[in-house]
Amino acid sequence: MAAIVAFLKRLKDGDRSQQPLELAVLSPYNQQVAAINRNVTVDLVNAAGLKVKQGLHGRHRGDNIETSGRVAHSVDSFQGNQAGVIVVSLVRNNTLSPGSGLGFLEEAPRINVLLSRAERLLVLVGSWEFFEHQLRGVSIDDHQFPLWHWKKVVTTLESWFRDGKAVRIDASNLASGARGDLPDSDQPLPDCLRSRRRAAVLTT
């Protein structure tokens, strides 16, 4: 979650004359959702020029965003909802053999919800190397393979990196202010909200 905090601190939306985009953080694991809600605050989201997207359950209960403080949601609780900016905390990072370390992320319907809720920008937070390792031996041409959905995601992102539709950022650079994919520390991240980019991948 440190990568999410660092991302929001560096994400400065310079044009405050427009309606701020709504943001929600999603994770497939309830413990991670709780940890994010303890560390990613509504004030932090507001300072980034965004506003928190309320979950459907909270809206039905009449919860107040400022008092509830819920920035993050589980996959199941966010079904049927959308936001301008979706941050997905993928969590998984282990040394299990290829194809055996994804846990809940093996479930294609769950992944579809995670990756289809963003209206403007999708931010994926996780270990790129872990997913590459898990997908060894998976062919993009074999649609019947159990992990084909992840192979399609990774292949699409690699294509977007080349075309400039997505940007890959080392999360350690966010916290340290190091250069590389990042502009000077007093500048916004590379036009994430106003460019043709569809996704940002924060590699942890």
User: Model confidence over 82-133: pLDDT tens digits?
Assistant: 999 999 999 888 889 999 999 888 989 888 888 999 998 899 999 999 999 9
Pick the residue with more confidence: 11 or 20? 20
Per the CB < 8 A criterion, the answer to whether 45 and 54 are in contact is no
Quick one: how many helices (H) and strands (E) in the chain?
Answer: 10, 7
Four-way CATH pick for 2-11+24-203: 1.10.10, 3.40.50, 3.30.870, 1.10.760: 3.40.50
Buried b (16+ CB within 10 A) or exposed e, 146-158: ebbbbbebbebbe
Give the pLDDT score at 182. Answer: 46
Residue spans of the domains in the chain: they are 2-11+24-203
| Contact in structure between 167 and 173 (CB atoms under 8 Å) | no
Percent of the chain at pLDDT exceeding 70: 78
Tens-place pLDDT, residues 129-150? 999 999 999 999 999 998 999 9
